[in-house]
Amino acid sequence: MRLVDVEQEQEVRIVDIQGGKGVARKLQQLSLMPGDRVKVTKRAPLRGPLLVEAHGRSVALGRGVAAKVEVEQISS
């Protein structure tokens, strides 16, 4: 599953980053790496960005970047 497909308020774990070095660098600058748990807190309308929470802070990710992040559901 891709991060862009995650429902609002759902928590997932980053498994892999499918984009090139630029996408990986951008996510690393935001402290988002494989193994991290993230929660989608808001989905902007009209294909706007996603607001995700990780490590106690919120960051906005464009849908293009979020589409390149592979995630898995966390079992409750």
Look at 75 and 5; give whichever has higher pLDDT: 5
Of 14, 4, 8, the C-alpha closest to 54 is: 14
Q: What pLDDT digit, counting tens, does each position of 29-44 carry?
A: 999 999 999 999 999 8
- Structural domain including 39 reads 3-73
CA neighbor of 13 nearest in space, from 59, 65, 76? 76
pLDDT value at residue 76: 60
Average pLDDT over residues 12-39: 93
**CATH at residue 26:** 2.30.30.90
The pTM (predicted TM-score) of the whole model is 0.89
Total structural domains within the chain: 1
